[in-house]
Amino acid sequence: MTKVFDAYPWLGPLLFVLAFVLAPLVSGGYVLYIFTLVIIYTLASFGTNILTGYTNLISMAGAVFFGIGAYGSAILTTHFGVPLVLSMFIAASIATVVGLLLALPVLRLEEVFLAIATLGFVMISVEIAKSSGDMSGGENGMGAPGPTLFGWALDERAYHVFTAVVLAGALWVARNLARSRFGRGFLAIKGSETAARALGLNTTALKLVAFGVCAFYTGLSGALYAPLVRFIDPSLFSIMVSISFVSMVIVGGLGSILGSVLGAVFVIGAPQLLTYLGFDQFQRALYGVAMILALMFLPDGLASLFKRKRLPGADAAQSGGCLLYTSPSPRDS
């Protein structure tokens, strides 16, 4: 089985997308809501993994982009009558511009310093959302319109399929980006930014692209989230939202597209499933223990379960230096 996944790195994520499309359509209700929620958060996980998993840049600003996507889409649809699909991409584009503007002053920072600097943006965005005017509801939040497509209202099953189609498109883009010169440039920065500059790579431009892609994916995730829950408030900008995004890529597997999917299932789907099964009182404790065990026994992420052990350099030799499926473990080098 691992040989199949190694030969066709896109197969694992594709099977998960198909499973999330078909499985919950049988039961519907809260189970369908959980599956749709995981799909939406997988988009944000893709974006975070491109930034953190491929370039080793740790940003805590994911909540800013997520909130902008949710609020932007809801405001454009509610107050300006913009069709939902168009409003989603406009909101994601706004999040991208904000992401690029936020990245410019902090690109020289690395590791924990970058994380702390972007954390400051999260704190500022929460206060802006709380003090905003009637258009966004301020501290009280605002209602978000239900999902529609070309004027037709979408029920929960149709919206689930819609989000899965968006996710499949995002998967295709992420896969091609990882195999492009940008993907190779990202990995060069992750290996050594100094060496990447010595090779003539414009590391500043590459990091801006990574921030922009992360912001777009996360903003689009927020735009899809608003019609699902139909109510949004400033809590979308909270630090816990950003932490959940980073947790998804660490638990799932840094630099792995499949890891993005598995991380979203574990971090977002597992707690919701525990609630559904009636373990509300023990949800946090059980989930915390499961996360600790996962990190202890699978330090390379859940995606490592699907990766066959290889000799050092075998992955790079096969893919021409660009690792699409998983990034090399430090223990393999």
Q: Which 3 state secondary structure label does DSSP give 149?
A: strand
Q: Please, which residues bridge with residue 247 across strands?
A: none
Q: Could you give the domains of the chain?
A: 2-332 (1.10.3470)
Q: What is the pTM of this model?
A: 0.84
Query: What does the pLDDT look like over 185-204, one tens digit per residue?
Result: 998 988 888 898 898 999 88
Asked whether the beta carbons of 40 and 265 are under 8 A apart, the reply is no
**Closest-CA residue to 183 (of 49, 88, 21, 323):** 323
CA 312 and chain centroid, separation: 29
**Which run of H or of E encompasses 166?**
helix 156-179
**Closest-CA residue to 124 (of 140, 144, 102, 106):** 102
Residue 331: is its pLDDT beyond 60? no
**Which run of H or of E encompasses 30?**
helix 29-55
Q: What's the chain's average pLDDT?
A: 83
Asked whether the beta carbons of 118 and 106 are under 8 A apart, the reply is yes
Angle formed by the axes of helices 156-179 and 203-229, nearest 10°: 170
CA 114 and chain centroid, separation: 19
User: So what's the pLDDT on residue 56?
Assistant: 86
Residue 70: is its pLDDT beyond 60? yes
User: So what's the pLDDT on residue 305?
Assistant: 83
User: So what's the pLDDT on residue 330?
Assistant: 43
User: So what's the pLDDT on residue 5?
Assistant: 57
Q: Which 3 state secondary structure label does DSSP give 231?
A: strand
The pair of three-digit structure tokens given for residue 192, joined into one six-digit string: 């050594």
In angstroms, how far is the first alpha carbon of the chain from the final one? 24
Question: Which positions ≥6 away from 198 have C-beta within 8 Å?
Answer: none
Across the chain, how many H-helices and E-strands are there?
15, 4
Per-position DSSP letters for 109-129, written without gaps between them: --HHHHHHHHHHHHHHHHHHH
CA 15 and chain centroid, separation: 18
User: So what's the pLDDT on residue 3?
Assistant: 62
